[in-house]
Structure 1
Amino acid sequence: MTRVVFLLVPGVHLLDLSGPAQVFSSAADLGLGYHLSYVAETTEIPSAQGLTLHADTTLPTLSTEDLILTPGWRSPRLANTGKLSGATLAWLRDHHAAGGVVASVCAGADVLGRAGLLDGRRCTTHHDLQDELERRYPRATVVRDVLYVMDNRVITSAGIASGIDLTLHLITTRHGPAAAASIARTMVVYARRNGDELQSSVLLKHRSHVNETVHRIQDIIETRMTDRLSLAELARLSGCSERTVTRLFSRATGMTPLRYQQALRVERAEHLIGHGATVESAARMVGFEDARMLRRLRSR
């Protein structure tokens, strides 16, 4: 039986906690031998979303097979937030020194840093906190814009949903990809992402504008990403002239509709390649006639 202990601090983000907890709970349902527990320095822990959680205040004795995971908390900055006592940090440090695994989601990386576990190691955190983490722990190497980093049994991940990716990866390394895939299906997770995939996707990066017409055009392109979409067809479907489509889209996103579709295709192809597809097969699956255009766009 592997014990997974979640170390909670006030203001904990529920998805930072519940995503990994659901993965390990589903693994337990499959008979893979996981027991979940929750510890904190007070019995009641308010979450960032307003729900109060109850935790054990006794730090358990763990074996090297066990895992401690620190979820993130509401933190526009790391300094003076997520406070824990020296005894709790020593417990975390001693578990790793004995051969155990420690992990974090989002701001939880700061707890590992205060325990001295980031020094000389590669790590990551949410993109809004990377600069501060780098300043606070100059002996650490902060890897930017990735989902998670593993370095000698210290595992750090980006924000919120990336904790699911991290824990599915742990299931894969311990029990194989079939077990991880089964859990992902149970959780209705679209796909298990590799650690080096970007935190910010094309869809998120170019959706921060407020132009409803452009959002409708993006919906069309995303739904029909693999299709040949002419400017004339986009204009017809959006009820605008071709000139208006080009002008509005470029102003809102900084690119043409064709470039946007290409960016979506390349991002999806990169994901497929990262999961074992060849460049040729990935190119065909995302709508390119052959791999030449995909190689050209990737080289940019």
Structure 2
Amino acid sequence: MSRVVFVLLPGVHLLDLAGPAQVFSTAADFGQPYALAYVAEREQVVSAQGLPLAADTRWPELDPDDLVVVPGWRAPRLCQGPEPVAQTLERLRTHHGAGGTVASVCAGAEALGRAGLLDGRRCTTHHDVQDELASRYPRATVVRDVLFTTDDRVVTSAGIASGIDLALHLLAVRHGPALAAQVARDIVVYARRNGDEPQASAMLRHRSHLDDTVHRVQDLIERRFTEPLPLAALAAYAGVSERTLTRLFGRATNGLTPLRYQQTLRLERAEHLAGHGATLDAAAREVGFEDARMLRRLRSRDQRVGADASERTR
């Protein structure tokens, strides 16, 4: 069981808190091992919107797999916001030092800065206070015009609703894009890419459409992308003909076929595994290929397609 611990400071914005909490709560509804906890320096915290929130003043015991999130708060300037006590800042440092991930939403980046966790790292916050954050923490690199940043298990988001994007990103990294897409659909949001990254997952590129038939087929492919999935079986699942499914799928995904979509998911997952130490052969087998030959062909094909696209935009 992994914990997601939200640190509530006075004046916390409800959506900064509720967005990520909803994402991880929904992931738990789908069977992922998440338990949510809320801690504060006092038993009751009044939100920026006036709603009193109850919290525990005792922190749970944390493991490296646990996540600590600091939602933002209402204040005209960072320096005028709440000042976390020394014990709270030490908790943030200790968890990160033990291998855990620490995240912030909006002005919550100020707490990470006070804890020394932004030094030497990329970060972001709400556009209204980005300049102030850069001034207060000159050893940090404040990245503008992005939804979120990740740097050495320190994750920061731009503000308010971007906390949802941050949480979906963490789900995709931990469990793969299928779960993140499933959660995004269930809470009725578009999965959006992080503007700071040159690449975006297939889920983020090809899920921003309104065709429910294609969404249902994508759900199935994402759950079982390591298995053989004949077009006939996918069409039967969707209750349409193979020709109709191919037409609908291509229209919703800028020309992809279901097979191409499945191959893209396999390739992206294999690249992720290889980037975390797996051999190419092991990564290929993990995503459903017999060996690395097909994986190498797909990588080569995508590189050629990317080069052709770059040439056309010159």
Normalised by the length of structure 2, the TM-score is 0.63
Please give the residue correspondences for 1:202-213 in structure 2 after superposition, counting only pairs within 5 Å. Answer: none
2:128 matches 1:128: yes
Structure 1 residue 196: Cα displacement: 2.0
8 Å Cα contact 1:101-1:154 kept in structure 2: yes
Partner residue of 2:26? 26
Paired position in structure 2 for 1:83: 83
Whether the 8 Å contact between 2:122 and 2:149 is mirrored in structure 1 is yes
Q: Which residue of 2 aligns with 1:193?
A: 193
Which letter maps to 2:51?
A: L
Secondary structure, in 3 states, of the residue corresponding to 2:192? coil
| Secondary structure, counterpart of 1:99 in structure 2 | coil
Q: Which residue of 1 aligns with 2:200?
A: none
Aligned length: 213
Q: Does 1:54 align with 2:54?
A: yes
Percent identity for Structure 1 against Structure 2: 67
Q: Flag as ranges the 4+ runs of structure 1 deviating above 4 A.
A: none
Relative to structure 1, the CA distance from residue 31 to residue 55 in structure 2 (aligned partners, 3 Å threshold; closer, same or farther) is same
Counterpart amino acid of residue 44 in structure 2? E
Question: 1:195 deviation in Å?
Answer: 4.8
Contact residue 4 and residue 68 of structure 2 kept, 8 A: yes
What letter corresponds to residue 128 of structure 2 in structure 1? D
Equivalent residue for 2:216? none
* Cα distance, 1:81 vs structure 2: 1.1
Q: Distance in 1 between matches of 2:118 and 2:53?
A: 28
Provide the rounded CA distance (Å) in 2 between the counterparts of 1:120 and 1:114: 14
Q: Distance in 2 between matches of 1:191 and 1:138?
A: 32
8 Å Cα contact 1:165-1:192 kept in structure 2: yes
* Distance in 2 separating the partners of 1:175 and 1:195: 21
Asked if 1 retains the 8 angstrom alpha-carbon contact of 2:125 and 2:159, the reply is: yes
1:59, distance to aligned residue in structure 2 (A):
1.7
Residue in structure 1 matching 2:313, options 291, 295, 300: 295
Tell me the TM-score normalised to structure 1 length: 0.66
> What CA RMSD, in Å, does the superposition of the two structures yield over aligned residues?
2.6
- SS of the aligned residue for 1:37 comes to strand
Instruction: Output one character per residue of 1:102-149: Cα deviation in whole Å (capped at 9) or x when no partner.
Output: 000000000000001001111110111100000100111111111111
**Contact (CA 8 Å) 1:168, 1:192: kept in 2 or not?**
no
User: Aligned to 2:50, what secondary structure does the other structure show?
Assistant: coil
Partners of 1:196 and 1:174 lie apart in 2 by: 20
In structure 2, what is the equivalent of residue 69 of structure 1?
69
Residue number in structure 2 paired with 1:176: 176
